[in-house]
Structure 1
Amino acid sequence: MSDRNPPPPPPGFAEALRTWARIGVLSFGGPAGQIALMHRVLVEEKRWIGEARFLHALNFCMLLPGPEAQQLATYVGWMLHGVRGGLAAGLLFILPGAAVIAGLAALYLLHADQPLVAAAFLGVKAAVLAIVAQAVVRIGTRALKGPAAIAIAAAAFVAIHALGVPFPLIVLGAGALGLALGRMRPALLPVAAAEGAHTGAGRTRWSGTLRTALLWAAIWLAPVAILNAALGPANIYAEIARVFATLAAVSFGGAYAVLAYLAQAGVETHGWLSAAEMVDGLGLAETTPGPLILVTEFVGFLAAAREGIAGAPILGGLLGAGLTLWVMFAPSFLWIFALAPHVEGLRGRPILSAALAAITAAVVGVVANLALWFGSRVLFGEITQAGGVDVPVLASVDWTAAALSALALALVFVARRGVLTTLSLCAGAGIALAAM
């Protein structure tokens, strides 16, 4: 930032609350779109945080299990206003989408097949595809500084798309490569200079970190222990608590990376819902605000609605959804409040900054793969395998989805329309095409 355009003073807490609520309502498009939205609002519009600190926080959140966009919001909220700021930012990022998913899950349970609703969802999916593509371009142009970063992103894309390398291994490999380059060839991974001291906390002792970690671990896991002791391990609510608490601890790479585990637990092991219902739940999570991992709320709702309170499926489902949200998102606050003070102290160390820059580059490749995965399933009805790689069957192209996607891309990249405008126009176009 130039001296002629100094950053504004830190925001008041009320202003921050309004901004976090706005971000929560507009956070469509999956992690890439949500991170791009936060960058636009926090870095470009409000200028509450600079580019270097934003990417540093993002790099750290990419390493954590759980929804990285929600953790990034929590991290920035903590930097601005401490623990209360982190809680406000993290909760406001989740709650709008969680409320929408709960309502849609109830409607889904009662009214599964509505042609006009399906047509609107097809338009929204096309819009989300364009929004994610725009976000990948935006994040990539900011994070890929130089040929080394581009090469790391390309290697990460090939590793996860063609070789099936697990996301945590890609992150570890990129971090190790970044450390080596930062030590031996620092010019290959240029990093921005660290900004001034953060406002979230001062120097932190590990004893304080341990107390914070124990407090949030108790908040996270107490419901699991209580439900298992009070209701027995076979009760549906005890099962939900155990399954999703475990999932929260291993959910590296976002919602797509854990879909296999979630499908195995929810569909095959426990029989809470069918594979088709699982896909529908993902579609709802794709087309509503909030992290994509809110698909777990949909699964928890259906499981508890069907096996929870006899004669009151909606109430039982809402209790299951609330329990799922608790055990899935509480650990995000644990990771941020316990570790962020120490991570902030690493901003001035070039070698570690190079490692995080390499991780960011790798994540660009991974997110590009996720965009390709999503796009192929929006545009094609059949996906086959060739050499272990998913390949769409060209004859199965959905021309309605293709037309809606072309409209969405034009709105985003040519007309430069916002998220809500693009979503609304594409949903309306989907309904209009279905009615023809």
Structure 2
Amino acid sequence: MQAAGPPEALAAPPASVPFGEALKFWLRLGFISFGGPAGQIAIMHRELVEQKRWISERRFLHALNYCMLLPGPEAQQLATYIGWLMHRTWGGIVAGALFVLPSLFILVALSWVYLVYGEVDWVAGLFYGIKPAVAAIVLHAVWRIGSRTLRSPRQVPLLWAIALASFACIAWWKLPFPLVVAAAALAGVAGARIAPAQFAAGGGHGKADKRWGPALIDDHTPTPSHARFRRTRLAQVVGVGAVLWLLPMALLVVTQGFEGTLARMGWFFTKAALLTFGGAYAVLPYVYQGAVEQYQWLTGAQMIDGLALGETTPGPLIMVVAFVGFVGGWTRQVLGPDALFAGAALAATVVTWFTFLPSFLFILAGGPLVESTHGDLRFTAPLTAITAAVVGVIGSLALFFLLHIAQARPALGLPVDGVALAIAAAAALALFHFKAGVIPVIAACALLGMALRLSGAA
């Protein structure tokens, strides 16, 4: 059945959007952007394309497909891109920053509650139920990303081989995540020459075939001058970005030394930001390797709890790094034992700054340049291979979570925690079969976990 055309009221494009009006929208988006990347992109599409008509569907999807080629949170980068397209550099900065800041403040507050009151029975019960739900959510992420990238093993056997190899490299051989990403990229470069048809599989978002009426930035609206590539502008943005990275890092090194916790966090999460191909789930194994195993800023159980908090707050899921920073700053007492909260909040802010700074640079500096290479197999094949590797990496993360929640419960005389596994199975059924949303699944599992803990059954 063919959709009806736009009503007469939509015959003319909307008037130009003042910067203040856009600012109010980006602030509101920061508080309502639940549901992970898919939910956040859906919210922006409904608001910006269908209702406000600030940008056409084709231009929206063009921006989205570009953001998907970059490391970092694609929904936050999409907001930055559209803000930049509409209101130049400050428009992009405001849009991207307001997508993150509400989540930072909320996570700082929830992290404090977690550390101070986490041992209280009903709070512990909530997290007991949430952990299996998170394991099911990660499994669902493996399926969601894998179904988009891998297709049939007969069609793309090389991509399947890359996915399985990356799973083994992380789960059994404990190889560093950056090494896995680099190997996958090299495989993509070679694959583009050996079997180009397999690596032409991309993660597009469909055809731009719907119309919602004329848009302010429409299909044939000329690219604004500030969005065209110029070497001088590229040099300026990269230079400012380098200063914005060097000054905070220098301050941390001068005040606490390069071996200090905050300086190490800044350096570590800069590297993590450059490796987030495929979204937050892809970089979590790398964060786990560094934050839990190498630096011991937090425990594995706390990492799972942090991911649960990240799933239940607005903003990009990669904001779980703010929880990692908060817990690490608290346990390492970065500002001394008398300023635990201030030190932890500072660490969360430092981690957020170094994690998201590259995302802004990718859009503000690289947007015009990288957009011109979209669809070039030499450019997209390595990224397709990386996405295939990401499927295996997330699979290893799911295995880790399942093994963790299944650990024996000596206090109850159980060799394995069958209750937690049953909750995980129920959550997986809700996600896969009933297509339930992430937030309702987490809420139901949290309430179930609290009831079991208070009743003594867990």
Normalising by structure 2, report the TM-score: 0.72
Counterpart Cα distance in 2 of 1:168 and 1:399: 35
Counterpart Cα distance in 1 of 2:23 and 2:131: 34
Offset, 1:115: 1.9
Cα RMSD for the two superposed structures: 3.8
CA distance change for structure 1 residues 218 and 114 in 2, over 3 Å: closer, same or farther?
Answer: same
Structure 1 match to 2:445: 426
Structure 1 match to 2:69: 59
What amino acid maps onto 1:381 in structure 2?
Answer: Q
Structure 1 match to 2:244: 219
Secondary structure in 1 matching 2:260: helix
CA distance change for structure 1 residues 301 and 257 in 2, over 3 Å: closer, same or farther?
Answer: same
Offset, 1:126: 2.5
Counterpart Cα distance in 1 of 2:186 and 2:341: 49
- Report percent identity of matched pairs: 30
Counterpart Cα distance in 2 of 1:210 and 1:381: 53
Normalising by structure 1, report the TM-score: 0.75
CA distance change for structure 1 residues 183 and 340 in 2, over 3 Å: closer, same or farther?
Answer: same
Alpha carbons 2:185, 2:385 under 8 Å: kept: yes
Q: Residues 232-256 of structure 1: CA distance to partner in whole angstroms, max 9, x if unpaired? A: 528xxx9243112210232235132
Secondary structure in 2 matching 1:415: coil
Gaps of 5+ in 1: 28-33, 268-272, 383-394
Structure 2 match to 1:113: 119
Query: In the alignment, which of 200, 213, 233 is matched to residue 257 of structure 2?
Result: 233
Counterpart Cα distance in 2 of 1:135 and 1:422: 14
Counterpart Cα distance in 1 of 2:85 and 2:264: 32
Structure 1 match to 2:307: 285
Structure 1 match to 2:324: 296
Alpha carbons 2:163, 2:388 under 8 Å: kept: no
Counterpart Cα distance in 2 of 1:307 and 1:188: 49
Paired residues for 1:19-418 under 5 Å: 20-22=29-31, 24=33, 26-27=34-35, 34-42=36-44, 48=57, 54-61=64-71, 70-71=76-77, 74-75=80-81, 78=84, 82-145=88-151, 147=153, 150-163=156-169, 164=173, 165-183=175-193, 185-191=195-201, 202-229=227-254, 231=255, 233=257, 239-251=260-272, 252-253=275-276, 254-263=283-292, 266-267=295-296, 276=299, 279-288=301-310, 289=313, 290-291=317-318, 292-303=320-331, 306-309=333-336, 311-378=338-405, 380-381=406-407, 396-418=415-437
Alpha carbons 1:221, 1:245 under 8 Å: kept: no
Gaps of 5+ in 2: 50-56, 209-218, 277-282, 409-413
CA distance change for structure 1 residues 429 and 349 in 2, over 3 Å: closer, same or farther?
Answer: same
Secondary structure in 2 matching 1:347: coil
What amino acid maps onto 1:376 in structure 2?
Answer: L
Offset, 1:17: 1.6
Counterpart Cα distance in 1 of 2:43 and 2:198: 30
Alpha carbons 1:221, 1:327 under 8 Å: kept: no
**For this pair of structures, how many residues does the alignment match?**
398
Alpha carbons 1:204, 1:341 under 8 Å: kept: yes
Alpha carbons 2:265, 2:325 under 8 Å: kept: no
Secondary structure in 1 matching 2:365: helix
CA distance change for structure 1 residues 137 and 242 in 2, over 3 Å: closer, same or farther?
Answer: same
Offset, 1:74: 4.0
